[in-house]
Structure 1
């Protein structure tokens, strides 16, 4: 089995968010996909199989399968368009979050995702204890989004990961307005054995619509202020979020694992 490792939402190697990509002929057992994800120990490992004119795509963290991952979708499209079928300029993926379309625009990969509906919730002492700063606002979608006072708080935050696990939502995102970009954010996923996600695409399906509403604009330049860092160009269109970014290949490897074939519908 061939596996690619790609830095997504990256201008150059060693920035953005790395993802492992396995392009399969047929599906393998879920348990094996999880073990590969755990062995890689990256925030996401993506598995894809060609179906008709498109591909079915699944994402695994070291803690289990998830319903949406932006950077691994971008990385998968990059691999297919550059190493599997160079004639393609767009790909339709079938996923747990529905149909996702990726278009190649020169060196940018543009992906349309469903945006998450956000509900304003009460800021609690548990949030303050977990983050180390008291949020100005808290919003709930699939994940918890906490708005901090400024980008310095976002950059210096060192959340207590055990306390973060006790907060609502799958992931925790902290965000604030930025002097250079429209917003700056960081993403934490200890419930999935990921202390910090370097660049979180699905997180920006929460963050971008929030700042679009606050700033009254439909195009957002977002910066993920992790150690690796990454920039996302976001466009909001009703209930969809378009994320665009670049990708860089880091490695191609052969995995020596038993390929137990199965039907994805079983």
Structure 2
């Protein structure tokens, strides 16, 4: 069996920027263990698999460790593959996922992701996370992810979490997003995932399901510019729709290739 594989850099307009994801179109679902093995072999934070179904697409996301409930950059990467490589001519792509229906439209050369709204609530930081941080946050919130609010962009850049300590905690699908007001953007962030192969995620669309409503409420702004301050850097143009979040970004293709599955059986 041969499968097409697309390696896409998402939330960037420059190669080697943003967050890389692999995208693999399927005619029907493979066994979970095969999709997980492919993801491990790809050795990126996420691989998205999708199946065309009537007028929609079913999508699933895997890290090298687990299947995820939501992934922003790999959804953007998948929309890029469908639009740019597979000749999709529609104005709207609908994905059916574990997080419900997700929509991607096209606006002024950017992909627009219509994602769930996850306002974080005040929380208490687990002691193990507190001990792992070289700079303590001034506020702590929780949605799917812990949202740690800091005083400045400089503090976000200076964070050096202790990876070994954080591996002692299991946050399920969640992670730790650290955020502050930005110097050149409305807000900035960094995202850490205890126990994952990629400890610091380069650009995390799903975390902005919480960051956008949080900063929109605090800044009294509907439209926000966000920078994720990883080494690869990511830029997201965000809109708070009150019950949904819009994330706009670009994507570029790094490579197109084939996966050859030998001696692998389907269910």
TM range (shorter): over 0.9
Residue 27 of structure 1 aligns to a residue in which SS?
coil
Number of equivalent positions: 262
Matched with 2:47 is 45
Give the structure 2 partner of residue 183 of structure 1.
187
How do 1:1-266 residues align onto structure 2 when only pairs under 5 Å count?
1-123=3-125, 125-166=127-168, 169=171, 170-258=174-262, 260-262=265-267
The answer (yes or no) to whether the contact 1:127–1:134 under 8 Å persists in 2 is no
Runs of 5+ consecutive residues of structure 2 not aligned to the other structure: none
Following superposition, the deviation at residue 132 of structure 1 comes to: 1.1
1:166 offset after TM fit, Å? 4.3
Superposed CA offset, 1:73-131 (max 9, x none): 00000000111123233210000000001001242000110011311013465433212
Q: Is the 8 A contact 1:131 1:164 kept in 2?
A: no
Cα offset, 1:177, TM superposition:
0.5
Displacement after TM superposition at 1:248 (Å) = 0.2
Q: Is the 8 A contact 1:64 1:192 kept in 2?
A: no
Task: Provide the rounded CA distance (Å) in 2 between the counterparts of 1:124 and 1:101.
Answer: 35
In 2, Cα distance between equivalents of 1:137 and 1:91: 37
Gaps of 5+ in 1: none
Q: Deviations over 1:206-234 (max 9, x none)?
A: 11111111111111110000000010011
TM (normalized to structure 1)? 0.94
Task: Give distance in 2, aligned partners of 1:73 and 1:123.
Answer: 30
